[in-house]
Amino acid sequence: MPYVVTQSCCSDASCVVACPVNCIHPAPGEPGFGQAEMLHIDASTCVGCGACVTACPAGAIVPDVVLSEEERPFEALAAEYYDTFPHADRTPVALVPRQRRLRRRGPFRVAVVGAGPSGLYAADELLKHPEVAVDVIDRREAPHGLVRYGVAPDHERTREVARLLEAIARQPGFRYRLGLDVGRDVSHEQLAGEYDAVVHATGASADRRLDVPGADLPGVVGATALARWSNGDPDLPDLELPPAGSRVVVVGAGNVALDMARLLTGPLVGARQVVVLGRRGADVAAFTTPELIGLAGLRDVDVLLDGDPPAGTGVRARLLADLARRVPREGRPRIVLKFHAPVAEVVGTTRASGVRLADGTALDADLVVTAIGHEWTTVEHDRGRVRPGLYVVGWAKRGPSGFIGTNKSCAEETVAMLLDDLDAGVPERRRDAVSRIR
């Protein structure tokens, strides 16, 4: 009975080391790891031991016999992956890398600014060293960053990763300092004076603005704001949403755009029709195939493709062709994917009433949601080191890309640089510094 990885995989590779026959790929260190949309189990070599199930923080792995009809494409996706990348060498990894030890005795204090997944993975990596204590600071009263306020409420298994983040925070040497905004409540200089090293894990969670006329009208909402609203973020000012039965346009065609389409047609908002607009073709759209499988499998919503599906015989092309053939049923909410549809203008006088596409097509809408990525200001760094004593990790380091699990290998890289600097004795903390941080 082979096992199958499903949509909620966040690519943290915890399962890889648990597998006794090395049949989960791409593994860390192999080409494609970090960019892969998810990890895949090779059905032809999986011995069905179930060890990976226990290792997975997202509950993403299931035996093939429990897959629903809508989840079956995940089997085909894995088969397609191994046809292209056979991974001929299956020497069991049982990768337990030798634990690095610090040469200097410490004790060391490290501040991690940001309690999202990247900050907590960094803390976890640091706490493998008993000489190091870690304070994780966040301006919010509740930790976990976008895992709490970004990940869609219906991605329940993905949200399970919070249990892993909670376990990290229970380790000796870990301390939270929540409700503390670095830059406002405490200065960067103060932190630098009081800690041996400071790691910025502050993310990049401001929505990128749609750069067309009308984009600032009321009735245009960023996807992250809507995601925060749907997750009950107490810090969010009230969002003015249209009543149930409305029409919505979502600009953008990444995974977050698909999250928005599900959310808007779901019971929380109750939209009648959501049109998801991709600037370019469906074959190059940013959404991942696992998320498309999840969307196509919705039972209470008609999901359709407006236009020709891309050519090809792969799982993605087959799914899109299936969506193009579907016939909508009267009275059901509808999600329509439309590609080659760049938006030229948001239309409306006092409030957005629709969009006009570059080819002149007009689409009416009671709400326009922008899901075109995030604002991000770059900081120069070398593998996470900005300078000795100051580091970046996660979205603050790589920009807004990758999955939750991508932040784990990202944190390992940054912490390796930090440990090198601690070993080299730079910079020296002012041991006489008196804590002024509450």
Ligand X SMILES: Cc1cc2nc3c(=O)[nH]c(=O)nc-3n(C[C@H](O)[C@H](O)[C@H](O)COP(=O)(O)OP(=O)(O)OC[C@H]3O[C@@H](n4cnc5c(N)ncnc54)[C@H](O)[C@@H]3O)c2cc1C
Compose the 402-431 pattern: x for residues touching ligand SF4 by CB under 6 A, - for all others.
---x--------------------------
Contact with ligand X (CB under 6 A) among 256, 337, 415, 419? 256
Contact with ligand X (CB under 6 A) among 26, 57, 73, 119? 119
- Alpha-carbon distance 126 to 98, whole Å? 15
Quick check: 3 binds ligand SF4 (CB under 6 A)?
Answer: yes
Length, in residues, of the chain: 438
Given ligand SF4, ligand X, none, residue 258, with its beta carbon under 5 to 8 Å by kind, binds none
Compose the 128-157 pattern: x for residues touching ligand X by CB under 6 A, - for all others.
---------xxxx----xxx--xx---x--
Give the residue among 111, 96, 123 at the shortest CA–CA distance from 415. 123
Given ligand X, ligand SF4, none, residue 115, with its beta carbon under 5 to 8 Å by kind, binds ligand X
Residue 26 or 114 having the CB closest to ligand X: 114
Given ligand X, ligand SF4, none, residue 414, with its beta carbon under 5 to 8 Å by kind, binds none
Torsion 141-373-320-227 (CA) sign: positive
Quick check: 363 binds ligand X (CB under 6 A)?
Answer: no
Torsion 327-332-337-343 (CA) sign: positive
- Rg, Å, the chain Cα set: 23
Give the residue among 89, 60, 90 at the shortest CA–CA distance from 77. 60
Quick check: 55 binds ligand SF4 (CB under 6 A)?
Answer: yes
- Alpha-carbon distance 333 to 273, whole Å? 6
For ligand X, how many residues bind (rule: CB under 6 A)? 38
Give the residue among 165, 193, 173, 163 at the shortest CA–CA distance from 126. 173
Site for ligand SF4 in 346-385 (CB under 6 A): none
Quick check: 11 binds ligand SF4 (CB under 6 A)?
Answer: yes
- What's the closest the beta carbon of residue 345 comes to ligand SF4, in angstroms? 41
Quick check: 50 binds ligand SF4 (CB under 6 A)?
Answer: yes
Compose the 10-49 pattern: x for residues touching ligand X by CB under 6 A, - for all others.
x---------------------------------------
- SS3 string, 246-276, reads CEEEEECCCHHHHHHHHHHHCCCCCCCEEEE
Residue 74 or 395 having the CB closest to ligand X: 395
Q: Count Cβ neighbours within 10 Å for each residue of 100-137 and write b for 16 or more, e otherwise.
A: eeeeeeeebbbbbbbbbbbbbbbbbbbbebeebbbbbb
Q: 10 Å Cβ neighbour count for 434?
A: 7
Compose the 26-45 pattern: x for residues touching ligand SF4 by CB under 6 A, - for all others.
-------------x-x----
Beta strands in 81-145 (DSSP E): 108-113, 132-138
Q: Which residues bind ligand X (CB under 6 A)?
A: 10, 113-119, 137-140, 145-147, 150-151, 155, 158, 181-183, 201-203, 205, 223-224, 227, 256, 259, 394-396, 402-404, 407
